[in-house]
Amino acid sequence: RENLEEVSALKIRIKFAKEGTMKFIGHLDIMRYFQKVMRRADVDIRYSEGFSPHQIMSFAAPLGVGLESRGEYVDIEVLSTDFSKEMLRRINENMVEGMEALSYKALPDDAGNAMSLVAAADYEVRFREGYEPADPDSFFDGIPAFLEQEEIVIVKKTKKGEREVNIRPQIYRMEARPDHVIFLQIATGSAANLKPDAVLRAYAESRGETLGEFALMVTRLEVYADKGTEESHQFVTLDSLGEDIE
């Protein structure tokens, strides 16, 4: 819609992938990269007011360096926009290899920003060649018994030192999949933030095994908001909260 009223900004949520060599780019550089893409794609993005205006842009649960993803999100505000399909074409024309915009959706006015909504995320975890468990079949078959524990305690490093944390309530799903892939759905966000690496290392330690420092290859698949309660989660994808512009 090329001629939306300029007096009010429209909230847009963009889902994107970060793969290949781009997984080694840190979050601050990804932010700068997106700012350049918005300019080059001629996105009519809104700028903040004041002495040093900057693009209105907010990322959901920034990804750690070295992790790939098919489920990253950034929220922006625009003064005008074309249809979703056209905006995706323009944005992707200005993306480098390893970066791809997957959806471009308008959000309702009362939508919270992506960063504040994040409650959970899906991951796929694989072992690097040469780092596989000594007995892969036994390792993968043992996952259900691991999840039967009421407590899974790890030592977490904080700014104030170290403390023990029970991560079992933060593991929503963990299962073995074909080709020795482990699927995880775990707590992510400001309230609780569990890393896939921590879960796999806790599992290995419960078996008396130790994983090498670079044993795991992690891909984030999706990020969710929670429309339910702590007792009964109702996870919905962040892009399902918006609608395509057609």
Identify the pLDDT of residue 98.
95
Residue 1 clears pLDDT 60, i.e. is over it = no
- Cα radius of gyration (the chain): 20
Instruction: Give the residue-averaged pLDDT of 25-31.
Output: 94
Identify the pLDDT of residue 5.
42
Establish how many alpha carbons lie within 13 A of residue 201's alpha carbon, considering only the half-sphere containing its beta carbon. Answer: 15
Instruction: Give the residue-averaged pLDDT of 94-98.
Output: 96
CA–CA distance, 169 with 171 (Å, rounded to integer) = 6
CA–CA distance, 40 with 27 (Å, rounded to integer) = 20
Identify the pLDDT of residue 204.
95
Instruction: Give the residue-averaged pLDDT of 116-128.
Output: 95
Q: pTM, whole model, 2 decimals?
A: 0.90
Residue 129 clears pLDDT 50, i.e. is over it = yes
> Do the Cβ atoms of 44 and 81 come closer than 8 Å?
yes
Instruction: Give the residue-averaged pLDDT of 150-169.
Output: 88
Identify the pLDDT of residue 206.
94
Provide the residue type at 119 as one letter. Answer: A
